[in-house]
Amino acid sequence: MGVFKIKQGELINKWILEQGASFFQDIGMKKNQKVVDFGCGEGIYSILSGMVVGENGIVYAVDEQQKDLDIVVDKTKDMGLKNIKTVTKNEFKILANKVKDVDFILLFDVLHYFDKNKREELYGTFYQMLAKNGKLAIYPKHTKNNFPLWNLSDISNKDLQKEIENNHFFFRKIHKTIMIHDTELENGNIFVFEKG
């Protein structure tokens, strides 16, 4: 089954189908929940979340690039998933004002796009969108010791954790797991925060 056309093709498709959804369950994602995958790219994590939350849950797959959202639409159709809604950057502004009961917000490999002011603005937006005890799950990439890049190149994962705690979130745990980054499987750490 061709889920994603990525380099390690078969290996990654096998991982997606056999184990991919389990790490979301391991960090507490459940059936019927509402998820925002912010900066979803081609939507691999939106699709895995869609598999976990099921037909009565919903995943908002948000990206500024229409070409990525088009890929998400094609993939969800291929997989028969009806619970993933693609959202453009402009539509997200409307969504953020409307939806206040989100269970999970995913920020996977995306924070390096934003400077400190923008990151803090985003944390505020997410805080308002989350339900009480809703979770913010972050897969930090391109920090100081991890292929430093752009806005996170001088910031360690620990600094980033403190920054998010300073923005009213409670740090809950680091979940160590196998992840996909770009086209490869790798060992990853998901930082899980909660709105108190």
Q: Compute the distance between CA of residue 126 and CA of residue 104 in angstroms, rounded to an integer.
A: 10
Q: Between the CA atoms of 116, 117, 119 and 121, what dihedral angle is there, to the nearest 10 degrees?
A: 160
Q: Which DSSP letter does residue 69 get? A: H
171 lines the binding site for ligand SAM (CB under 6 A):
no
Options 12, 21, 35, 44; binder of ligand SAM; rule CB under 6 A:
44
Interface pick for ligand SAM out of 77, 89, 162, 168 (rule CB under 6 A): 89
Q: Compute the least distance from the CB of residue 44 to ligand SAM, in Å.
A: 5
Question: Strand, coil or helix: what is 5?
Answer: coil
Q: Which residues between 58 and 77 bind ligand SAM (CB under 6 A)?
A: 62-65, 68
Instruction: Name the minimum Å distance from CB 49 to ligand SAM.
Output: 11
Residue number with CB closer to ligand SAM (68 or 170): 68
Please give the size of the binding site for ligand SAM, defined by CB under 6 A: 15
Interaction between residue 140 and ligand SAM (CB under 6 A): no
Token couple for 130: 């989350």
Cα separation of 98 and 119, whole Å?
21
Are residues 164 and 119 in contact, defined by beta-carbon separation less than 8 angstroms? no
Site membership for ligand SAM, residue 110 (CB under 6 A): yes
Check binding of 108 to ligand SAM (CB under 6 A): yes
Q: Which helix (H) or strand (E) holds 187?
A: strand 184-195
Q: Does the protein bind ligand SAM through residue 41 (CB under 6 A)?
A: yes
Compute the distance between CA of residue 165 and CA of residue 174 in angstroms, rounded to an integer: 14
The least distance separating ligand SAM from the CB of residue 122, rounded to whole angstroms, comes to 8
Nearer to ligand SAM, 133 or 183 (CB): 183
103 lies in the site for ligand SAM, by CB under 6 A = no
Q: Are 107 and 164 in contact (CB under 8 A)?
A: no
